Amino acid sequence: MQMPGWFPLGDCELLVVSDGVLRLDAGSVFGVTPRVMWEPLVGPLDEEYRLAVGLNCLLVRSQGKLVLVETGVGNKTTRVPGGAGVAQAGTLLEDMARHGIRPEDVDIVINTHLHFDHCGGNTIYRDGNLALTFPRAHHFLQKGEWDEANHPNERTRASYLPENLEPLADSRQLELVEGEAEVIKGVRILPAPGHTAAHTIVE
């Protein structure tokens, strides 16, 4: 799907870019909620009763810096942990290139949390080795989320994949924050626990 171009917000410019689509088993998404309540709201399912979920990421241009919020699933796998669907993903770099943006142009990456579908594009296989996709970027996230991702419990383990974390742990480009932090002027991260205990939102 073709996304619109850059648009202004305050002193920033924003661009929505896509990493593709997750096709998730509808039952795993809605659980015990009756089908008659959610089906009219989500549109048609595919032949395997899966729901299409867009993997949208956000580029923010401000103060001469380029910030990327979320990186999608990436191109390292098509499996969804737990077997609940399939990822038709890995288009983020291609979509960015359509707008003239290279991986090395990104100064900062922010992940709201470290589930596979929000940070999988942080890393990539390069010459057979895992590496950071955005080689110059500093990666900002909550310390509590980093700790949980590296020491998950049985309930959360399937959502955190080591291949999305290891190159970052070995780099000097990981910026762990606790609470609120101004990443650059006009772009802040704020704690918003819920989806994960140390989930972050971007303001």
The pLDDT value recorded for residue 43 is: 79
Question: 134: alpha, beta or left, given left = phi > 0 and alpha = psi -120 to 50?
Answer: beta
Superfamily of domain 7-202: Ribonuclease Z/Hydroxyacylglutathione hydrolase-like (3.60.15.10)
Q: What are the pLDDT digits (tens) for 31-63?
A: 899 988 988 888 788 888 888 889 999 999 999
Stretch 21-29: mean pLDDT: 85
pLDDT at 106 over 70: yes
Report whether pLDDT(192) > 90. Answer: yes
Per-residue confidence band for 186, with pLDDT thresholds at 50, 70 and 90: confident
Q: Cα(172)–Cα(156) distance, rounded to whole angstroms?
A: 26
Model confidence at 94, in pLDDT bands (50, 70, 90)? very high
Contact criterion met (CB below 8 Å) for 164 and 74: yes
Residue 84 pLDDT greater than 70, yes or no: no
Would the CA dihedral through 136, 22, 163, 112 be positive or negative?
Answer: positive
Contact 66, 56 (CB under 8 A): no
Pick the range with the lowest mean pLDDT from 85-89, 164-168, 169-173: 85-89
Query: Residue type at 182?
Result: E
pLDDT at position 170: 87
Cβ atoms within 10 Å, residue 169: 11
CA distance 39 to 174: 41
Name the amino acid, one letter, at 49: Y
Alpha helices in 52-142 (DSSP H): 92-98, 116-119
Dihedral sign for Cα atoms in the order 54, 120, 114, 179: negative
